[in-house]
Each structure stands twice: as structure tokens, then as C-alpha cells.
């Protein structure tokens, strides 16, 4: 089976690399040449357009930063859709809103191909280790056909039904994650400001009911308040919060805490922290405290 991969950012490059390592014939496209060259060095083929990826491959996977980027590689004479034909598959693993996913499905079906949305939970390290959680929805036939591919990128796979379900699930997941990290930031700010040892504070958290892998990973970095190399860029988390709030408004669901958390991430963006890891929101919170 020939696999295409469009979008070789922090996540996509690691995911595509795992497919190459697993022995799949992989063809890649990315705007910047550095990521393309890295994958080419591992044995992947490179082509000049997303359309060429779709023309060459049985299944094309896209991993883009936001809905605008998804549309940019999907549409137009050089886009993925232009290279699809009957029997092929298009899997969008980007985190987008449900409307964008449904439009991708509609256009894919019009081309005679199958569509699957499959956003992931996890950041750089889980992508590198192929331990992502993959939330899929759309054409079950494509999901079943793609299991051997998805299993090389994730440790937990869920099929959630009709297109749009996975997009909504991912946004609900990420608003919880953002809220948890903001709460940790405030706890660190309070502990530091009141003279407590931050190592001991993190030990207390890790020994109780709120212990979790994210606090274990991000806590020491946030306590040190140093550099925040991006595993999951802050600008992408703020995008997910924005999409979650829009979904909530469409459904008449108030999200009081998420609205406040979003403002904190917006403040971090205004401080120029968008390309840092999303844990850098702690800098803004400690400054305010």
C-alpha cells in the first residue's frame, strides 16, 4: 500500500517517519524543504505538490496546523482533492472544527474517494514513540483499511462514528488539558510566591489524586521558568480553545472556565510566546501573580 503524508511539522514529521520505519512506501510533501529532506534521507519519496501525493498514493494523510492550512493543501489545482480518484482514501489528522471536517468529507466523496478525520491526542514525544491516541470518524471502510497504518502511529485507536465526532472529541479533550495546565501554573505561582519549595510542591501533587503524566512532564519545566521548546506550540492550543468556545456557542453550552483560560493563552500570545510550548502560559500567570 502506498501512503502519502502532507504536512511535516512537529507532529507530522514524527508520524511520517514511523510509517517509513514500518516499511510502508511513503511519499511526502511539505512547504519547507528541511522536513522533506529529512524524510527523503530516511527513504521517503518527495513530490512538488499535495496533488502529486494523492495521485501517487492509495491513502493520503494530512497533518496541518489549523483549518486555514487544511483548506490550503486540500483545495485548488495543486490540492489533495485534485489528485483523488475512486477507491482512494483521504485521512485528515489535523485538529479542526467539525464543519471543516464535514466539508472535507463532502468534497472527498464527490471525487469518488473515502474520507476519515483522525485527530490525535499527544505531542512531540508520543508522536515520536508512536503512542498517540487517535480519534477517528467518517467512512468505516477507510478506517478498517487503514488500521495497519494508524497502529504504527498510535497506541489507542477509537472509531467515533460520523464525520465531525472526532473533531468535537478532540476539542473537548484539549480544553481539559489547557485548563489543567493553567491550574498547575497558578499552583506553582502561589507556591513560589508564598515561599514554598517548588520541588516539594510537585512531589505533593504527584503523590495524590491529581497525579498525571502531563504534570510530571511539564511541572519541572514550569517551576524552572526557563525555556519552553515546543512539543505542542502554544498558538495551536489557543486555536483549539477558540474552536472549542465556538462549538460551545453553537450548542448553547456555557464554558465559563474555558473562556478565562482562553484569555490567559491570548495574553501569552500577545507576549510573543506562540511558538513556545503551551506550558509557557505559566510565564504570564506568574507575572500576574
170 in catalytic set:
yes
Where is 264: in which H helix or E strand? helix 256-270
Q: Which three cell numbers stand for residue 45?
A: 519519496
Distance between CA atoms of residues 156 and 15, nearest Å = 15
Cβ atoms of 112 and 85 within 8 Å: the answer is yes
Distance between CA atoms of residues 281 and 94, nearest Å = 23
Candidates 181, 88, 209, 183; CA nearest to 141 is 88
Q: Which three cell numbers stand for residue 260?
A: 478565562
CA dihedral 42, 43, 47, 49 (to 10 degrees): -50
DSSP code string of 33-46: HHHHHHHHHHT-EE
Distance between CA atoms of residues 145 and 99, nearest Å = 25
Distance between CA atoms of residues 168 and 212, nearest Å = 23
Question: Which is catalytic among the residues 21, 125, 156, 170?
Answer: 170
Q: Which three cell numbers stand for residue 122?
A: 499527544
DSSP letter assigned to residue 233: B
Candidates 273, 183, 283; CA nearest to 229 is 273
Distance between CA atoms of residues 289 and 274, nearest Å = 21
Q: Which residues are catalytic?
A: 170
Amino acid at each position: 500500500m502506498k501512503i502519502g503524508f502532507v504536512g511535516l511539522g512537529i507532529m507530522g514529521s514524527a508520524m511520517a517517519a514511523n510509517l517509513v520505519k514500518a516499511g510502508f512506501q511513503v511519499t511526502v510533501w511539505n512547504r519547507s524543504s528541511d522536513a522533506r529532506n529529512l524524510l527523503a534521507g530516511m527513504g521517503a519519496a518527495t513530490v512538488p505538490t499535495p496533488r502529486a501525493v494523492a495521485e501517487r498514493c492509495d491513502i493520503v494523510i494530512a497533518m496541518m496546523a489549523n483549518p486555514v492550512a487544511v483548506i490550503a493543501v486540500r483545495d485548488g489545482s495543486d490540492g489533495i482533492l485534485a489528485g483523488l480518484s475512486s477507491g482512494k482514501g483521504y485521512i485528515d489528522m489535523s485538529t479542526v472544527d467539525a464543519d471543516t471536517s464535514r466539508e472535507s468529507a463532502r468534497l472527498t466523496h464527490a471525487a469518488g474517494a473515502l474520507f476519515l478525520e483522525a485527530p490525535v491526542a499527544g505531542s512531540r514525544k508520543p508522536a515520536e514513540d508512536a503512542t498517540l491516541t487517535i480519534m477517528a470518524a467518517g467512512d468505516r471502510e477507510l478506517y478498517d483499511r487503514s488500521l495497519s497504518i494508524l497502529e504504527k502511529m498510535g497506541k489507542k485507536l477509537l472509531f467515533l462514528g460520523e464525520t465531525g465526532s472526532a473533531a468535537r472529541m478532540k476539542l473537548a479533550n484539549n480544553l481539559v488539558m489547557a485548563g489543567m495546565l493553567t491550574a498547575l501554573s497558578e499552583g506553582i505561582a502561589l507556591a513560589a510566591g508564598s515561599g514554598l519549595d517548588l520541588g516539594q510542591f510537585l512531589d505533593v501533587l504527584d503523590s495524590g489524586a491529581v497525579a498525571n503524566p502531563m504534570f510530571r512532564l511539564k511541572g519541572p519545566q514550569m517551576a524552572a521558568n526557563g525555556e519552553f521548546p515546543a512539543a505542542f506550540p502554544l498558538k495551536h492550543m489557543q486555536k483549539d480553545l477558540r474552536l472549542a468556545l465556538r462549538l460551545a456557542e453553537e450548542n448553547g453550552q456555557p464554558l465559563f472556565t474555558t473562556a478565562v483560560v482562553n484569555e490567559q493563552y491570548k495574553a501569552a500570545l500577545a507576549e510573543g510566546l506562540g511558538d513556545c510550548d503551551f506550558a509557557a502560559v505559566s510565564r504570564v500567570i506568574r507575572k500576574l501573580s
